[in-house]
Copies of this chain bind each other. A is one copy, B any other.
Amino acid sequence: VSRLFFAAAVALLASVSFRVDATSMAEVLAASKPSDWRPLDPQRTLYLELESGRVIIELAPQFAPNHVANIVALVREGYFDGLGFMRSQDNYVVQWGDADGKRAIRTAKRTLPAEFARSAQDLPFTPLPDPDSYAPQVGYSDGFAAARDSANGTAWLTHCYGTVGAGRDNDADSGGGTELYVVIGHSPRHLDRNVTLVGRVVQGMELLSVLRRGTGASGFYETAQERTPIRAIRVAADLPESELVPLEVLRTDTPEFAAVVEARRNRSEEWFKYKAGRVEVCNVPVAVRRHAN
Contact = CB atoms under 8 A, between A and B. Distances in A.
Contact of A186 (B93, B186, B279): B186
Interface in A167-195: 167-170, 172, 181, 184-195
A187 B186 contact: yes
Interface in A56-99: 87, 90-91, 93, 95
A104 interface: no
Interface string A23-45: 00000000000000000000000
Contact of A190 (B184, B188, B276): B276
Contacts of A6: 217-218, 220
Contacts of A189: 276, 280, 283
Interface residues of A, number: 68
Interface stretch (A118-126, A205-213, A245-253, A254-262): A205-213
A133 interface: yes
Q: Could you tell me the dominant secondary structure of chain A's interface residues?
A: loop
A131 B212 CA distance: 34
Contact of A170 (B133, B205, B267, B271): B271
A186 B217 CA distance: 23
A4 interface: yes
A276 B290 CA distance: 37
Interface in A1-23: 1-10
B195 A1 contact: yes
B186 A273 contact: no
Contact of A194 (B9, B190, B274, B283): B274
Nearest to A52: B212
A169 B133 contact: no
B93 A170 contact: no
A139 interface: no
Contacts of A198: none
Nearest to A87: B3
Contacts of A2: 167-170
Contacts of A10: 217-218
A12 to B, nearest CB: 12
A169 B134 contact: no
List of 4 A-B pairs having minimum Cβ-Cβ separation, nearest first: A6-B218, A133-B280, A206-B213, A193-B274
Interface of A: 1-10, 87, 90-91, 93, 95, 114, 116, 130-134, 160-162, 165, 167-170, 172, 181, 184-195, 205-206, 209-213, 217-218, 220, 264, 267, 270-274, 276, 278-283
Given A186-B283, A193-B274, 10 more contacts: A3-B220, A5-B169, A6-B217, A90-B205, A116-B273, A131-B133, A133-B278, A189-B283, A190-B276, A209-B209
